[in-house]
């Protein structure tokens, strides 16, 4: 299986396991800047040079060797499951993507037909019942994750623990897992433990939110989207995320973690 979703600086200073919807654009640009002294011109997800990626065949042997030797500084970043799934809904389901089209072609029409969701019209800018549509989308996300129907789960709403675990199962070990909610502190820990070609002042680094502006703005507080049934579905599909990364399942209004991440425990639980 190798190391899907893994990026590494060309200088081999650090390696990162991408978790979608968890500041991956900003992290990728920081990695790129640390080697080249400038940001990638465009979406870092489109970069085919300047950073090693598992999706680039020529980089795979180098990534495999570095990860399995466990000498390189390996890290990833996670996010509160409640805010992550909401972000996926507004970006990928309601939003128009960079290519001017809907995400994954016929996905949204299928969701409108089979699950009765609304997305704000052709351009995503019309008023619609966000709460009702999100809850119907959550039912769809559960169906894809639990039963792989009507399609396989998408990387943007499949569990973070699944992304994180592939790195461990195939021979890697994280030196750091930090939260998007405390991004600067976590990313600074990474930078403090590696040698970079170009110095980085995180206070001056812009946030590269490639999904911003794709879809409608969230009209309500996070907790309004989750009733008892929605929370039950969240627990069913993201229990390991809440447990491994210490997020508060009981209170959707609390986006902050409620305890430290125990790396040994994460490796033990997600490495089998």
Distance in angstroms between the alpha carbons of the first and the last residue of the chain: 15
Regarding beta strands 51-53 and 73-78, do their DSSP bridges make them parallel or antiparallel, or are they unpaired? unpaired
Cα separation of 142 and 75, whole Å? 28
Q: According to the model, what pLDDT value does residue 211 have? A: 64
- What is the residue-level pLDDT of the chain in tens, covering all 272 positions? 799 999 999 999 999 999 999 999 999 999 999 999 999 999 999 999 999 999 999 999 999 999 999 999 999 999 999 999 999 999 999 988 888 889 998 999 999 999 999 998 887 778 999 999 999 999 999 999 999 999 999 999 999 999 999 999 999 999 999 999 999 999 999 999 999 999 999 999 988 876 666 678 899 999 999 999 999 999 999 999 999 999 999 999 999 999 999 999 999 999 97
Q: According to the model, what pLDDT value does residue 126 have? A: 85
Query: What's the 3-state SS for the chain?
Result: CCCCCEEEECCCCEEEECCCCCCHHHHHHHHHHHHHCCCCCCCHHHCCCCEEECCCHHHHHHHHHHHHHCCCEEEEEECCHHHHHHHHHHHHHCCECCCCCECCCCHHHHHHHHHCCCCCCCCCCCCCCHHHHHHHHHHHHHHHHHHCCCCCCCCCCCCHHHHHHHHHHCCCCCCEEEEHHHHHHHHHHHHHCCCCCCCCCHHHCCCCCCCCCCCCCCCCCHHHHCCHHHHHHHHHHHHHHHHHHCCCCCCCCCCCCCCCCCHHHHHHHHCC
Regarding beta strands 176-179 and 14-17, do their DSSP bridges make them parallel or antiparallel, or are they unpaired? unpaired
Q: With contact defined as beta carbons under 8 Å apart, do 16 and 75 qualify?
A: yes
Cα separation of 257 and 249, whole Å? 10
- Supply angle C-alpha 48, 51, 57, rounded to 5: 55
**Which residues, in sequence order, are CB contacts of 185 under 8 Å at separation 6+?**
178
pTM of the model as a whole: 0.95
Instruction: Give the CA-trace dihedral at 209, 258, 137, 45, to 10 degrees.
Output: 30
| Tens digit of each residue's pLDDT (9 = 90 or more) over 33-54 | 999 999 999 999 999 999 999 9
Domain extents for the chain? Answer: 1-96+155-216+239-272
- Supply angle C-alpha 121, 156, 150, rounded to 5: 70
| Tens digit of each residue's pLDDT (9 = 90 or more) over 111-135 | 999 999 999 888 777 899 999 999 9
């Amino acid at each position: 299986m190798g190391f899907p979703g893994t990026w590494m600086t060309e200088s081999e200073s650090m390696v990162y396991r991408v978790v979608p919807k968890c500041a991956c654009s900003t992290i990728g640009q920081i990695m790129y800047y640390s080697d080249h002294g400038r940001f990638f011109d465009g979406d870092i997800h489109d970069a085919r040079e300047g950073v090693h990626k598992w999706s680039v065949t020529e980089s795979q042997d180098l990534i495999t060797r570095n990860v399995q030797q466990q000498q390189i500084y390996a890290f990833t970043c996670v996010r509160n499951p409640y805010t992550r799934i909401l972000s996926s809904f507004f970006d990928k389901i309601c939003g128009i993507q960079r290519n001017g089209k809907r995400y994954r072609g016929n996905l949204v029409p299928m969701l409108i037909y089979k699950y009765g969701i609304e997305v704000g019209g052709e351009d995503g800018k019309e008023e619609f019942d966000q709460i009702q549509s999100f809850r119907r989308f959550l039912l769809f996300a559960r169906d894809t994750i639990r039963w792989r129907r009507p399609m396989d789960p998408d990387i943007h709403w499949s569990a973070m623990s699944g992304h994180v675990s592939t790195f461990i199962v195939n021979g890697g070990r994280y030196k750091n897992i930090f939260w998007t909610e405390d991004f600067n502190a976590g990313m600074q820990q990474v930078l403090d433990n590696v040698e970079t070609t170009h110095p980085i002042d995180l206070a001056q680094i812009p946030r590269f939110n490639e999904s911003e502006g794709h879809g409608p703005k969230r009209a309500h507080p996070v907790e309004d989207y989750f009733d008892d049934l929605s929370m039950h579905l969240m627990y069913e599909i993201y229990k390991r995320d809440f447990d491994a990364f210490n997020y508060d399942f009981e209170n959707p209004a609390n986006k902050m973690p409620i305890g430290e991440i125990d790396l040994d425990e994460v490796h033990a639980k997600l490495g089998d």
